[in-house]
Amino acid sequence: MNEMAKPAAGTVDLAIVGAGPAGLAAAVTACELGLSVTVFDEQAAPGGQIYRAVEAGMSRGNAWMSMLGEEYGRGAELVRRFRASHADYRPGTAVFDISADGGLGILGPQGATWIEARCVLVATGAMERPVPVPGWTLPGVMGVGAVQTMLKASGLVPDTRTVIAGSGPLVYLAAHQLAAAGAEPAAVLDTTPRGNYAQAAPLLARAMLSGSEVRKGLAWRRDLKKRVDLFRTGVTRVGIEGDGHAQAVSFRAGGRDEQIECDLVLLHEGVVPNTQLAMAAGAAHAWDPLQACWRPEVDDAGRTSVAGLLVAGDGAGIAGADLAVERGHIAALAAARDLGALTAQEAVKQGREAHARLRRKAPLRRFLDRLYRPREEVLVPPDDATVVCRCEEVTAGELRKVAAMGCPGPNQAKAFTRCGMGPCQSRMCGLAAAAVLAEANGNTMAETGYLRIRPPIKPITVGELAALDGVGAPPDTGPLLPTSPDEMPEE
């Protein structure tokens, strides 16, 4: 029987950031092993993105749940187990800072505070890859996932002429969900590059052996082709036009240029890890050329290059919700092992099934990654006029100009153009900006690098920071800001 060293007062064993599949699964396992666990999540209810509003969804009944699909339903059971655990759950709480020695700056309903943890698990998942095409900043252009979010959380569906333009399993899932809700899109423009089919074909047989996902996806796609008025494949050169709002989509398919009217355009080119927290903590990251994204360097349990910091779920590399659950479980075992609550032998034993399931699904992942690798014009927007940094309205052409002036990467380009300095902190522009600079300079993405991510990584006012309370807070040296307008310096 292993004794766990008593934690210092005020220090939790395992702080988990994110209440999606990986975070929830890790919390359940860690609690079962007797660790003290705190889970921080910015949403009001657990589930992350994929299982968003699943508790409310359950109370809507079977027809609702079956419209959203089997995978969504699995979230309900996981959330139930989480609620039954002894995890200290802090919804409505954002993590705005992280230190390499287990400190987290959190901002919740009661204000900002600093907490200490012996281990931190970052389970902040993924976001849709931004799709920089001409006109993508117009109102009426959203990610496909945005509509899924509104469907799950608010029961909202488009009731207007909608075009989906993109590639990847989420395109077919979302279109299928919308059609089941009586809101099928007017057009689906499948941008999966034709050449990808040939490249992925050798991987298909093994992918189909690992489960029913491919069969299901193909069935949805076949069904869509029958239901949707306009279905084009091998689509390129997507552009959106409109006066103050999306009004039409132009594109090229089958060697012809076409344009269709619409009010809502939904874009999708896969998902990429949210790397802000792990990067801010100083964890080493590597460029994944197949998934075309940055991911933290982790061992097979999710440990990063920073001691005591782990990453699980899609934030460690895209693999989907079911595998996020497995990785959350494995990461919790690793944390327990590292904290002395579990022997290495026990950790291996309790993780055996999860690792086996990860191995079984690996061929599916390889197939999907190969088939749905975005076309080059999504990764490196060819038109100079295309906006790359939405916040500061910096175009691809401006980035090419500063590359020609000698900017090797995004940190330097930021100083010259403000690209990456807006409120989104390069979440939307980082990948494309680096890709434009890499191509212009004839360098690889790994050589070009990424923006230096600095806290605060979530919005926090100076007042909230100044009022920060808790373990490790700096000594009170008086107000940091003038406290009344009269004390403001003359402009």
Partner 1 sequence: MLKRLHEIASPVEFEFEGETVVAQEGESLAAALLAHGAGDFRKTPVSGAPRAPYCMIGVCFDCLVEVDGRPNRQACMTPARAGMKVRRQKGTANVKGGS
**Nearest partner of 14 among 313, 277, 310, 300, judged by Cα:** 310
CB atoms within 10 A of CB 67: 18
The C-alpha atoms of residue 449 and residue 453 are separated, in whole angstroms, by 12
Of positions 141, 207, 399, 403, contacts partner 1 by CB under 8 A: 141
CB closer to partner 1 out of 158 and 302: 158
Helix (H, G, I), strand (E, B) or coil at 486: helix
Pick from 13, 67, 72, 69: nearest CA to 47:
72
d(CA 198, CA 250): 27
The least CB distance from residue 267 to partner 1, in Å, is 9
* Cβ contacts of 34 within 8 Å, gap of 6 or more: 4, 341
Contact between 344 and partner 1 per CB under 8 A: no
Please say whether the dihedral angle defined by the alpha carbons of residues 200, 203, 208 and 213, taken in this order, is positive or negative.
negative
The single residue among 4, 58, 100, 153 that binds partner 1, judged by CB under 8 A, is 153
Q: Which stretch binds partner 1 (CB under 8 A): 1-9, 114-122, 147-155, 326-334?
A: 147-155
Q: Is 419 in the site for partner 1 (CB under 8 A)?
A: no
Question: Closest separation between CB of residue 208 and partner 1, Å?
Answer: 32
Residue 485 within binding range of partner 1, rule CB under 8 A? yes
- Give the whole-angstrom CA distance, residue 408 versus residue 236: 29
Residue 414 in the binding site for partner 1 (CB under 8 A) = no
What is the contact mask toward partner 1 in residues 170 to 199, using x (rule: CB under 8 A)? -----------x-x----------------
- Give the shortest CB-382-to-partner 1 separation in angstroms: 21
Q: Find the shortest distance in angstroms from Cβ 51 to partner 1.
A: 13
81 closest CA partner among 47, 121, 34? 47
Residue 281 CB, nearest approach to partner 1 (Å): 19
When the beta carbons of 133 and 371 are compared against partner 1, the nearer one is 133
Number of other CB atoms surrounding residue 340 within 10 Å: 11
| Token code pair at residue 147 | 């509509």
Nearer Cβ to partner 1, position 213 or 392? 392
Residue 29, token pair as written in the block:
């396992």
Shortest distance (Å) from residue 227 CB to partner 1 = 18
| Interface with partner 1 in residues 389-408 (CB under 8 A) | 390-393
Exactly one of 76, 157, 446, 466 binds partner 1 (CB under 8 A); that residue is: 157
Does residue number 49 form part of the binding site for partner 1 (CB under 8 A)? Answer: yes
Stretch of 115-123, 149-157, 311-319, 468-476 contacting partner 1, by CB under 8 A: 149-157
Cα 93–chain centre separation: 18
Q: Which one of residues 42, 88, 297, 376 is an interface residue with partner 1 (CB under 8 A)?
A: 42
DSSP one-letter string for 277-313: HHHHTT--EEEETTTTEEEE---TT-B-SSTTEEE-G
The single residue listed with the structure tokens 């890890």 is 273
- Terminus-to-terminus CA distance in the chain, angstroms? 67
CB of 410 to partner 1, least distance (A): 18
202/213 Cα distance (integer angstroms): 17
Question: Counting beta carbons within 10 angstroms of the beta carbon of residue 106, is it exposed (0 to 12), middle (13 to 18) or buried (19 or more)?
Answer: buried
Positions 422 through 441 that interact with partner 1 (CB under 8 A): 422-424, 427-428
Could you give the C-alpha distances from 455 to 19, 104, 105, 136, 345, in angstroms and in order?
Answer: 21, 11, 9, 28, 38
The answer to whether residue 483 forms part of the interface with partner 1 (CB under 8 A) is no
**Identity of the residue, 174 or 354, whose beta carbon is nearer to partner 1 in the bound complex:** 174
Q: Is 142 in the site for partner 1 (CB under 8 A)?
A: yes
Q: Which is nearer to partner 1, 29 or 148 (CB)?
A: 148
**Shorter beta-carbon distance to partner 1: residue 141 or 187:** 141
Q: Of the listed pieces 19-27, 131-139, 233-241, 464-472, which binds partner 1 according to CB under 8 A?
A: 131-139
Measured CA to CA in angstroms, residue 375 lies from 194, 370, 381, 436 at distances of 10, 11, 10, 14
Per CB under 8 A, does 270 bind partner 1?
no
Helix (H/G/I), strand (E/B), else coil: 115: strand
160 binds partner 1 (CB under 8 A): yes
With binding defined as CB under 8 A, does residue 137 bind partner 1? Answer: yes
Stretch that binds partner 1, among 145-153, 166-174, 361-369, 432-440 (CB under 8 A): 145-153
In the complex, which residues of this chain contact partner 1 (CB under 8 A)? 42, 44, 49, 60, 127-128, 130, 136-143, 145-147, 149-151, 153-160, 181, 183, 244-245, 263-264, 274, 390-393, 422-424, 427-428, 459, 485, 488
